[in-house]
């Protein structure tokens, strides 16, 4: 029989409802009876002891809020009776000793990847087109139309076939098995296109950060080569990108083709030259074959979005266990979303291997929160209406669950947005909580695969890295099967342990990295790219 309540850690004074509970229900919990004082939806929290006004709310073993009014044992926590509160962190208080998981079955595991000259290994083989400035977005779109149609690389959308059937007077469901194809098909390379709204018109620092991010996309092991369009007069000059590429790798050995419209004459002249040169590069990239590589070559981005009250007790800790295994074998998990680490800073500071990294983490967190407050907001306003509706009613509560994605392994490096991962082990990357800005940033820092947990559902993907969706509950997996790759609802039902589910996640990651399974986000063509813009428009 499924449990009705769960307490995450021994010191917690709240429990999570695993099923809908009705006022008056009597629940046996940890050897005592709790009488429900109000209707409580699954995923929400109830007090398991009487709480006085200003009492600390403890969950996941950390401070996640305080009581605005007295809360009786058995009553539900809401935005009306508790408010966000988190511990103040000023320094590292201790060094945490890590007990690594058993990796005997993982240490010799391999995946089939694309080996690059710098020693990195890609999970995909992409030729990437991107602009240095938004003025070139239109030309990128023209190139996208040409290459996807003629190289048969773009999946024809079902909606396009539906409209064609209607135009031709056929039944909406008619399918003669034919699709429009080009004259040549490349099976071993994918051509991808990204556009953005940056590169000019803002503060120079934003263009510098964008240059570093784009350089990271070129450096990413999933990219075989790139075509870059520049207008010429923008803030993000070609030299700025070249310097960023040199900083990230002075010996970069990848073809990077750059074209400047203001120096080339007509649009046709530039596009024709771009197409001829890029086609040669794409043909060469298509010759690269998958070969075995240690899973230590995986740089796995850890993301969450559309989180619910189950995320922190099923999907996130299961992903955290997979992250620990990967860190133990020499891989590089990447934990981001700094606004969603609010309240767990002390644990993360104590997990930093290097004292300077501990100080840098505190500095980045405080600077970020100060900038949010200067804009009239703050980390306490992070939970979305959907989060709150499904049980995440304070930022610290949301953060404490979100941080579980990073497991328990030591933190080997603290990176700011646009900086590249170079160390094996768990890396912390400063990004917003915004799903796409965060995912965009992790891939720009070298992630060759991303695992994205969700309790409510989200369509986020990425142009060059597979983004796997992990549901915290089975209801979501059954309602949105086209976007969910892995369901961790068995943890909520008590059918599987966190460790078992974590191993399933890592096994699935290896299959996707090898190309034997395609991520749902890739099947749906979800190629989201939004750089983090920190400054104002000028």
Phi and psi angles of residue 363, each rounded to the nearest 5 degrees, phi first: -65, -45
Give one DSSP letter per residue of 146-176, joined into a string: HHHHHTT-SPPPHHHHHHHHHHTT--TT---
Q: Assign 443 a pLDDT band (cuts: 50, 70, 90).
A: very high
Kindly tell me the burial class for residue 109, based on how many C-beta atoms sit within 10 Å of its own C-beta (0-12, 13-18, 19 or more): middle
Contact 406, 399 (CB under 8 A): no
In sign, the C-alpha dihedral spanning 292, 293, 294, 297 is negative
| pLDDT surpasses 80 at 176 | no
Contact 47, 14 (CB under 8 A): yes
pLDDT digits (tens, 9 = 90+) for 108-141: 999 999 999 999 999 999 999 999 999 999 999 9
With H, G, I as helix, E, B as strand and everything else as coil, classify residue 47.
strand
| pLDDT surpasses 70 at 228 | yes
Q: Which pLDDT score, from 0 to 100, does residue 179 have?
A: 45
Contact 216, 254 (CB under 8 A): no
pLDDT digits (tens, 9 = 90+) for 449-493: 999 999 999 999 999 999 999 999 999 999 999 999 999 999 999
- Residue at token pair 């009239």: 376
pLDDT digits (tens, 9 = 90+) for 352-383: 999 999 999 999 999 998 888 888 887 766 77
pLDDT digits (tens, 9 = 90+) for 47-65: 999 999 999 999 999 999 9
Percent over 90 (pLDDT), the chain: 79
| pLDDT surpasses 80 at 144 | yes
Q: CA-to-CA distance for 184 and 366, rounded, in angstroms?
A: 54
With H, G, I as helix, E, B as strand and everything else as coil, classify residue 223.
strand
Q: Give me the residues paired with residue 411 across strands.
A: 352, 426
Full-model pTM: 0.92
Question: Which of left, alpha, beta for 296 (phi over 0: left; psi -120 to 50: alpha)?
Answer: alpha
Q: Which pLDDT score, from 0 to 100, does residue 183 have?
A: 47
Instruction: Tell me how far apart the 2 most distant CA atoms of the chain are, in Å.
Output: 80
Closest by alpha carbon to 313, among 14, 66, 103, 24? 14
- Residue at token pair 């040409």: 146
In sign, the C-alpha dihedral spanning 118, 124, 127, 130 is negative
* Beta-carbon contacts of residue 6 (< 8 Å; ≥ 6 apart): 15, 16, 18, 313
């Amino acid at each position: 029989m499924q449990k009705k309540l769960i307490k995450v850690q021994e010191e917690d004074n709240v429990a999570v409802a695993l099923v809908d509970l009705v006022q008056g229900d009597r629940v046996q919990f940890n050897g005592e009876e709790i009488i429900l004082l109000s209707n409580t939806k699954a995923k929400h929290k109830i007090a398991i002891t009487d709480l006085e006004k200003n009492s600390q709310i403890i969950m996941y073993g950390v401070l996640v809020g305080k009581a605005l009014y007295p809360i009786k044992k058995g009553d539900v926590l809401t935005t009306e009776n508790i408010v966000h509160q988190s511990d103040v962190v000023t320094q590292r208080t201790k060094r945490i000793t890590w007990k690594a998981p058993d990796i005997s079955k993982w240490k010799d595991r391999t995946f089939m990847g694309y080996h690059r000259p710098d020693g990195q290994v890609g999970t995909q083989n992409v030729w990437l087109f991107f602009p240095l400035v938004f003025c070139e977005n239109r030309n990128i779109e023209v190139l996208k139309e040409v290459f996807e149609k003629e190289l048969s690389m773009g999946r024809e959308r079902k909606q396009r076939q539906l409209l064609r059937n209607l135009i031709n007077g056929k039944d909406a469901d008619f399918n003669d098995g034919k699709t429009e194809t080009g004259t040549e098909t490349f099976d071993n390379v994918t051509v991808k296109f990204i556009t953005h709204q940056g590169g000019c018109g803002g503060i120079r620092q934003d263009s510098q950060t964008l240059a570093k991010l784009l350089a990271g996309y070129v450096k990413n092991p999933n990219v075989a080569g790139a075509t870059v369009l520049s207008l010429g007069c923008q803030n993000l000059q070609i030299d700025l990108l070249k310097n960023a590429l040199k900083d990230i790798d002075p010996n970069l050995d990848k073809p990077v083709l750059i074209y400047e419209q203001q120096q080339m004459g007509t649009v046709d002249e530039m596009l024709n030259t771009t197409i001829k040169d890029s086609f040669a590069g794409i043909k060469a990239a298509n010759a690269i074959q998958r070969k075995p590589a240690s899973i230590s070559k995986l740089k796995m981005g850890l993301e969450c979005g559309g989180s619910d009250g189950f995320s922190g007790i099923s999907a996130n800790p299961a992903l955290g266990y997979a992250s620990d295994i990967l860190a133990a074998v020499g891989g590089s998990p990447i934990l981001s979303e700094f606004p969603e680490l609010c309240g767990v800073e002390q644990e993360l500071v104590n997990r930093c291997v290097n004292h300077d990294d501990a100080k840098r983490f505190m500095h980045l967190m405080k600077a970020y929160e100060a900038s949010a407050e200067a804009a009239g907001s703050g980390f306490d306003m992070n939970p979305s209406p959907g989060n709150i509706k499904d049980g995440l009613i304070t930022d610290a509560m949301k953060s404490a669950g979100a941080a579980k994605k990073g497991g328990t392994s030591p933190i080997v490096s603290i990176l700011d947005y646009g900086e590249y991962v170079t160390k094996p082990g768990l890396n912390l990357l400063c990004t917003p909580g915004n799903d796409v800005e965060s995912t965009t940033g992790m891939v720009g820092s070298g992630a060759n695969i991303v695992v994205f947990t969700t309790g409510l559902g989200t369509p986020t993907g990425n142009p060059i890295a597979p983004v796997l969706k992990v549901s915290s509950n089975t209801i979501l997996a059954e309602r949105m099967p086209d976007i969910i790759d892995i369901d961790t609802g068995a943890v909520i039902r008590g059918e599987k342990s966190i460790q078992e589910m974590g191993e399933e996640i890592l096994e699935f990651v290896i299959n996707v990295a090898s190309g034997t399974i395609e991520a749902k986000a890739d099947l749906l063509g979800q190629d989201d790219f939004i750089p983090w813009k920190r400054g104002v428009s000028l």
